[in-house]
Chain A
Amino acid sequence: MNDEFPRRREHFPVGLAHLGLETVEREIPADEPPALGPNAGLRQIGKNAPRWDARAKVTGAARYTVDVSLPGMLHAAVLRSPWPHARLRSIDLSRAAAAPGVHAALTVAEPPVSGKPIVLRYVGQPVAAVAAETPALAQAALQLIDVRYEPLPFVTDPDRAKQADAPAVYRKPELDKVPSAGLPASAAVYPLSGNVLGPESRNSRGDVATGFAEAAVVVDGTYRTQVQTHCCMEPHAIVASWHEDGLDVWMSTQFTAGVRVQLARHFGLPLSRVRVQVQAMGGGFGSKSQMGVYGRTAVSLSRLAGAPVRLVYRRDEEHMDSGNRPSSEQHLRIGARSDGTLTAISLHSHGSAGIAFGAAPGGIASALYPCPNMESLHYDVFTNAGPSCAMRGPGNTQGAFALEQSIDELAEKLALDPIVLRDRIDPSPVHREERRMGAERIGWSQRRAPASDPGPLKRGVGMAQSLWPANVQINTACEVRLWRDGSVEVLSSVQDIGTGVGTVLAQVVAEELGLEPAAIRVRIGDTEFPSGPPSYGSRTTASITPPARTAAWRVKEAFFRTIASAWQVDAHTLIVQDGSIQVRNDPQRRISWQEAAAALRTDRISATAGRADDYAGFRYRSGDAAMALNDLGGAQFAEVEVDTESGVIRVLRVVAVHDCGRPINPRQIESQVQGGVLMGISYALMEERILDSHTGWMLNPNFVDYKVLGPQDAPEIDVVLLENYQGFSASDAYGISEPANIATAAAIANAVYNAIGVRIRSLPMTPAAVLQALGLVPGGRH
């Protein structure tokens, strides 16, 4: 063995708990804690500890970024482009800067290359910003900015943008400046023809012509998905304070540590002088992962004004310019033999991320059902619209809508039950079990032929499978401290954006130390603490809980060594239980946690642990990011009722069966799965950003005209969690947020087909879309 990195063998439980567990032996680093048994034998992990910050949130005491107020704080406002495409002829800030109460004014838009003219490419793009003593004075000063625009031809509709004679959003040399909504980082690696960038063909393999020639059955369809906006309840918000010692930032962010790195780089500051904090955080869903234009604007204004600056977006700014889920148009063909074996998958997609790129419909069509021949060609279509960014299950949510309807269609052509077909072509035993359990709960065996109801109200049942990589952030650390009075803290820059990761940290540390979660003080959301992971990619729990347990275990080991040496026993014979420490099998040798801590030589014992590699290795690793060997899954079932006279779809019931490795707090996971399902229903039936093709303006930048699902539209949601042990890390826990959102729209679409016998291949499935699909009103793309 390698002496430099000593290792030892441990025996881990593996398998699905409700089906019976087996044991696997793995070699792990010697400084990692012993294998954790299944939840059934644990005291804190796997239990529903109350959310750590729930009391603060229900009493209004929780402090969000929008609640931060500093002495002398100024308020910023942003001047935005009224044109979808324009050259900035001139801008004069002097009158605005001299206006009453104004302390700073600056141009925010940047030229593509320094010295070249600034080009604005969407309505709502930030042009300039001011900081003033009140929000009203800042707003007033915007009107004193003298700007001259030279409007340029523009295009907002992706279908029009694809045409050869459409106005060009970019020219080739500008491509390396295009913001990325996904992977890879630079658009410049792809060919550009007009507004069409690509193809990107990472997932292609084999030969589809041969594959389709071998097929007994082929399904072929075109699926369209709309642009969805994130609609975080707390808007994008930052309070920036530039001072002589450096920069302090409070920000509603999904990644304190990452924003700190971006700010330090952008403003030429050492990391040691940049601090980013977030206490309570009012939702991100992918849109609050970066420093962003709003971030650099507030910091620049603070530097210029010599005072703290607060910048909070209005709701219309949120809709127009804080990110969105890109649209997609997916032409999907799947070929299969008569027994269901897949022979070829061809996915030709276009998608528009506005002025950004990265609108590909994910890897789900390539990864969910193995197929030797895959042709995946994706093209990004630039339009004069606000840039997309990641949104809950980016790519796969759009991709699942097409794939899972096509698989159902294939099953029908093969005269197979949709679940039987999936069981044949999906090698994952976990997915199979998810489908079995979901089918039982929803009453799949009672499912009828399409359009069986004779009356105008028609009910149907459908399902879809979810898939998402089990992401891990390698650059993750966590500290645990034990103080001389016996109190314990857990510290990391990781932020709780509503997922409940703070609760989970307290449970993991409490489990290891034999304490109650309420006894653990959780200190997170501050880059003064060891760097935590981002809250995106469903990677937070998977990244932070192993080092939290490892740090707690190392503190315990050090603590035990001090006690063992006083008692002259072997430290390995000590155990902790119910707040006291004793020699195993010798209750006479016993001391309370507090008494033992009081005897520490120094005020505290502290240990900081980093995220070790998964014990069985990773499937993929690049920089700070890695993927575990197995994906995250989930099967969702929906029962719907379609009113064929009004076109209204009601979702009556959803069954969501999910796997996130070892569940740490089942109730919080249930909350998050319900949230994913509800966001999925909202995406399926209601939400759509609508741009006026004549002006480039968003027509529904508010909560009246942009419909988000409300309480009366929420169905009964039955969440079923698997306990899936894999022996991969010190906690063996993985994420849940995104898999919970990916399959919902597809499951509803399959249920709608089962109800009315007509397939709706376009989102959102509004009443108008349903009536068009039924041929009752003209129009539509069905």
Chain B
Amino acid sequence: MANEHRKEDAAAAGRIAGPAPLPIVLRVNGETRELMVEPRTTLAEALRGPLGLTGTKIACNHGVCSACTVWLDDLAVASCSVLAIEVGERRITTIEGLAGQDRLHPVQAAFIDYDAVQCGFCTPGLVMSCAALLARNPRPDRKEIETAISGHLCRCGTYPHVVQAMLALGTREEPDLE
């Protein structure tokens, strides 16, 4: 009887846990990485878990706050809303791969200069969206910046300093530090 129960329970748990992991290959930050993922694993989970790239953050896990933003090829996407198994050949760029070892992307430098960071949890996502904007539009105006980051939520309220940092980059003014 107890054994019977146990088998049923294992089957039920198995159904809930879903199909078993399968091997996939992802191209992340210029490297080819092999990993095992369950089919339902999101790209955000795959990056943070098996790939150890915890710079990508999960805050809402339903595609609203954009904290998990990474690039697929040149497109900024919410990695919590992409399945790891559907990425295929596309190049993934995460916050760790944006600038390369010991270097800063100009957006990262501007975020530091303008204190566009408070708790920092939403920051990697914001940096990825801002860097994507800059790649397609080197001199964005305030409206374009606000549109590019409109999907991001920051509870600390860094938006004004993010916009200021991006405007400064666009005009290539020297940062006003004092």
Contact = CB atoms under 8 A, between A and B. Distances in A.
Interface of A: 47-48, 50-51, 53-64, 66-67, 95, 98-100, 134, 136-137, 139-141, 143-144, 230-235, 280-283, 285, 314-315, 497-500, 667-668, 670-672, 674-679, 702-704, 708, 710-712, 714, 716-717
A105 to B, nearest CB: 13
Contacts of A59: 55, 95-96, 98-99, 104, 108
A283 B14 contact: no
Contact of A280 (B120, B149, B154, B158): B120
A51 B149 contact: no
Contact of B96 (A60, A499, A668): A60
Given A144-B13, A711-B146, A233 B155 contact: yes
13 contacts: A53-B120, A58-B127, A100-B14, A140-B17, A144-B9, A231-B155, A234-B119, A283-B121, A674-B160, A704-B62, A710-B151, A710-B159, A712-B150
Nearest to B16: A140
B113 interface: yes
A716 B67 CA distance: 23
A703 B96 contact: no
B43 interface: no
A143 B12 contact: yes
A230 B155 CA distance: 9
Given A63-B54, A712-B147, A58 B17 contact: no
Interface of B: 5-6, 9-10, 12-14, 16-18, 38, 48, 53-62, 64-65, 67, 94-96, 98-99, 104, 108, 111-113, 115, 117-124, 127, 146-147, 149-163, 177-178
A232 B57 CA distance: 13
Contacts of A499: 118
Given A315-B62, A497-B119, A702-B64, A58 B111 contact: yes
A708 B149 CA distance: 14
A675 B13 contact: no
A674 B157 contact: yes
Residue with the greatest number of chain B CB neighbours at <10 A, chosen from A47, A61, A66, A703: A703
Contacts of A708: 153, 155
A53 B117 CA distance: 9
A671 B94 CA distance: 26
A676 B157 contact: yes
Contact of A137 (B17, B121, B147, B155): B17
Contacts of B119: 232-234, 280-283, 497-498
A609 B175 CA distance: 37
A64 B160 contact: no
A717 to B, nearest CB: 6
Nearest to B55: A60
B159 A233 contact: no
A282 B118 CA distance: 9
Nearest to A136: B17
A136 B146 contact: no
Given A60-B124, A679-B155, A711-B154, 12 more contacts: A54-B112, A59-B99, A64-B121, A100-B10, A136-B18, A137-B13, A233-B156, A498-B120, A667-B115, A675-B118, A710-B150, A710-B151
Contacts of B48: 67
A233 B150 contact: no
B67 to A, nearest CB: 6
Contacts of A61: 55, 96
A636 to B, nearest CB: 14
Contacts of B177: 48
Contact of A100 (B13, B18, B112, B123): B13
B123 to A, nearest CB: 5
Given A58-B104, A672-B118, A717 B160 contact: yes
A57 B150 contact: no
Given A58-B123, A712-B147, A283 B156 contact: yes
Contact of A60 (B14, B95, B160): B95
A385 B140 CA distance: 46
Contacts of B14: 100, 140
Nearest to A666: B178
Contacts of B9: 95, 98-99, 144
Given A59-B96, A100-B14, A140-B16, A671 B62 contact: no
Contact of A675 (B111, B112, B123, B158): B158
Contacts of B13: 99-100, 137, 140-141, 143-144
Contact of A671 (B58, B118, B124): B118
B162 to A, nearest CB: 7
Contacts of B154: 233, 711
Contacts of B56: 60
Residue with the greatest number of chain B CB neighbours at <10 A, chosen from A48, A60, A675: A60
B121 A282 contact: yes
A136 B13 CA distance: 9
Nearest to B110: A58
Contacts of A280: 119-121
B154 to A, nearest CB: 7
A151 B84 CA distance: 42
A233 B123 CA distance: 10
Contact of A711 (B16, B53, B61, B162): B162
A494 B114 CA distance: 25
Contacts of B115: 48, 50-51, 54, 500, 667-668, 670-671
A222 B108 CA distance: 48
Contacts of A98: 6, 9
Contacts of B123: 57-58
A717 B163 CA distance: 12
A63 B48 CA distance: 12
Contacts of B155: 230-233, 283, 285, 675, 679, 708
A674 B118 CA distance: 11
Closest 9 CB pairs of A and B: A60-B55, A498-B119, A675-B157, A57-B120, A282-B121, A60-B95, A678-B157, A140-B16, A498-B118
A613 B111 CA distance: 38
Residue with the greatest number of chain A CB neighbours at <10 A, chosen from B12, B119, B147: B119
Contacts of B18: 136
A287 to B, nearest CB: 11
A726 B146 CA distance: 41
A606 to B, nearest CB: 30
A315 B59 contact: yes
Contacts of A53: 120
Given A47-B178, A54-B115, A711 B157 contact: no
A456 B154 CA distance: 32
B163 A711 contact: yes
A144 B12 CA distance: 9
Contacts of B55: 59-61
Contacts of B95: 58-60
Contact of B120 (A50, A62, A710, A711): A62
A681 to B, nearest CB: 9
Contacts of A500: 115, 118
B10 to A, nearest CB: 6
Contacts of B146: 711-712
Given A60-B54, A667-B115, A233 B16 contact: no
A53 B111 CA distance: 12
Contacts of B178: 47-48
Contacts of A714: 157, 159-160
Contacts of B62: 315, 702-704
A98 B13 CA distance: 11
A234 B59 contact: yes
A47 B94 CA distance: 33
A667 B158 CA distance: 12
Contacts of B64: 702-704
A136 B38 contact: yes
B125 to A, nearest CB: 10
B153 to A, nearest CB: 6
Contacts of A57: 117, 120, 123-124
Contacts of B60: 315, 702-703
